[in-house]
Amino acid sequence: MKFAIVVNEGPYTHQASDTAYQFTKAALEAGHEIERVFFYHDGVNNATRLTVPPQDERNVQRNWSELGKAHGLDMVVCIAAAQRRGILDENEAKRQGKDADNIAEGFRISGLGQLIDAGIQADRLVTFGD
């Protein structure tokens, strides 16, 4: 089965991101395909490379980056939601006149069309968080 995943909540304010990560990991281990992971609303906060959790806590951003790299996941961050929350890639930072970017490895910024496309291409669209 081919899944598209939507993550609507941030990494440390709600269980949704951890649950989405565990679901995605389990689906891949079971031989399913992940069409795309789309981070929307506060879910875009999973994509900042500036997250520094205490050493004895889970690092949700790193978990996503490592999973994405290991499985070649297409992890897309909604551009509008990202801009509102200060999540920028190098191109967007330049375009907005900012002096730095902060998107983590394995994530990319794009628009809602990527969510629509993932929903069309996948057998199931699974949403985590409100």
Q: Give residues with Cβ within 8 angstroms of 111, minimum separation 6.
A: 78, 79, 80
H or E stretch including 57? none
pLDDT tens digits for range 80-107: 999 999 999 999 999 999 999 999 999 9
pLDDT per residue over 24-56, tens digit each? 999 999 999 999 999 999 999 999 999 999 999
Band (pLDDT 50/70/90 cuts) for residue 63 is: very high
Arithmetic mean of pLDDT, 52-66: 94
CATH class for the domain made up of 2-128: alpha beta
Domain regions of the chain by residue span: 2-128
| Spatial CA neighbour of 11 closest among 54, 46, 58 | 46
Q: What is the mean pLDDT of residues 104-111?
A: 97
pTM of the model: 0.96
Catalytic annotation present for 78: yes
Active site residue: 37, 60, 78, 104, which one?
A: 78
One-letter amino acid of 108: R
The identity of residue 119, as a single letter, is: G
**Confidence band of 13 (pLDDT split at 50, 70, 90):** confident
